[in-house]
Structure 1
Amino acid sequence: MRILKYISIILFTGILSIACSSDDNGTPMAVNEEEVITTLAVTLTPDGGGTAITLQTRDLDGDGPNAPEITVSGNLAAGVTYNGSIVLLNETETPAEDITKEVVAEAKEHQLFYTSGGGLEITTAYIDTDSDGNPLGTKFTLTAGNPSSGTLTFTLRHEPTKPNAGLSNAGGETDLEATFSVTVE
């Protein structure tokens, strides 16, 4: 009986110490909430001046029943190089929150990718980089090739592998993806 009593006390003490142990070192874990992005606005300004082309997608209800509003202000001119800039907004807040600032501040954890499809003849090049010299993508150049049409997709990845050889091997999670129908004339 005495041995059973000691075994019960030892088991109870062991269970109590496990249940009351704390892995908390007193420092709360930082939570980096995912950005809410309702609007992507791309401005393409011809190198040397001229009328800018804007591409915008706006989805105020997120995954709600309404489709995003997608606009393209005009066609690209063949052989012209455009200076591109991207603005990301959260328009569920008043005033709208500029998410671009957060993406730039966390440049090592983000990258924008530009992909063309459907025969669209363009080339792109990154202008801005993170502190390690890896591409970020809020600023870029786009050169329109021969007359053509197709799609231009902008993808924002969170925590991609850097450096990478493009979207296909970047990894990470997609924060935003928007596709526009574009024509080069």
Structure 2
Amino acid sequence: MKTIKLLALFITTSLVFTACSDDHDDHDHDHEEELITTVIYTLTDGNNTVTLQWEDLDGDTGNAPVITDGILSANTTYTGSIQLLNKTETPAEDITVEVKTEGDEHEFFYSSSVSGVTINKTDVDGNDNPLGIKTTLTTGNTGTGSLTIVLKHEPTKPNNGTADNAGGSTDLEVTFNISVQ
């Protein structure tokens, strides 16, 4: 009986030491996820500017994000630019700079449920694959719906242009209500 107790104690002790291993190998040293508190998507048609903004200063556990939706003109082409900020720092850190610097590891994806709205990426990473910090957005006839922006980390490049088939991990996904009038 004493042998069984000693054997049980030995097995339990070896499990504890195995579970508490001091092995801190981090195979993703280069990707320290940045905090993104604010997304600003600015659309300009030459005469007018529409700013879509998503802001969540207290993170997932606090208040809901504050979202500024937008009204776009029908049959119009806009030049778009996205900016990502971390406003928990002073001054606010521009995360867009890091995304651009690590362009081969990132890609923005845009989709809209409004019929006739198309978004094209106009900038590329260092390997001439689409990046999506700069875009053109073209509207068709009137309608209402949503515009979703997804930032993928380490997507497959090149890909078919959709977030669903790009692989990688999602760093950001925000949705705006838009109206085309």
1:31 to partner: Cα distance: 4.1
Q: Which residue of 2 aligns with 1:88?
A: 84
Note the aligned Cα RMSD (angstroms): 1.2
Alignment partner for residue 108 of structure 2, among 109, 112, 115?
112
Aligned AA for 1:57?
A: W
Aligned AA for 1:59?
A: D
1:149 to partner: Cα distance: 0.6
Q: Which residue of 2 aligns with 1:160?
A: 155
Alignment partner for residue 52 of structure 2, among 47, 52, 55?
55
State the SS of the aligned residue for 1:108. Answer: helix
1:32 to partner: Cα distance: 2.6
Aligned AA for 1:83?
A: T
Mapped to 2, the partners of 1:30 and 1:174 lie a distance apart of 18
**Cα distance change, pair 147–100 in 1 and its aligned pair in 2 (3 A):** same
1:64 to partner: Cα distance: 1.6
TM-score when scaled to structure 1?
0.80
Q: Which residue of 2 aligns with 1:133?
A: 128
Q: Which residue of 2 aligns with 1:143?
A: 138
Q: Which residue of 1 aligns with 2:33?
A: 34
Superimposed CA distance per residue, residues 121-152 of structure 1 (whole angstroms, 9 cap, x where no aligned partner)? 30111110011111100000000111011000
1:35 to partner: Cα distance: 1.3
Mapped to 2, the partners of 1:120 and 1:70 lie a distance apart of 22
1:51 to partner: Cα distance: 1.5
**Cα distance change, pair 31–162 in 1 and its aligned pair in 2 (3 A):** closer
TM-score when scaled to structure 2?
0.81
In structure 2, list runs of 5 or more residues that go unmatched: 1-27
1:55 to partner: Cα distance: 0.1
Aligned AA for 1:93?
A: E
**Cα distance change, pair 54–44 in 1 and its aligned pair in 2 (3 A):** same
Is the aligned partner of 1:45 residue 2:49? no
Superimposed CA distance per residue, residues 33-58 of structure 1 (whole angstroms, 9 cap, x where no aligned partner)? 11110000000000xx1120000000
Equivalent residues, number: 153
1:65 to partner: Cα distance: 2.4
In structure 1, list runs of 5 or more residues that go unmatched: 1-28
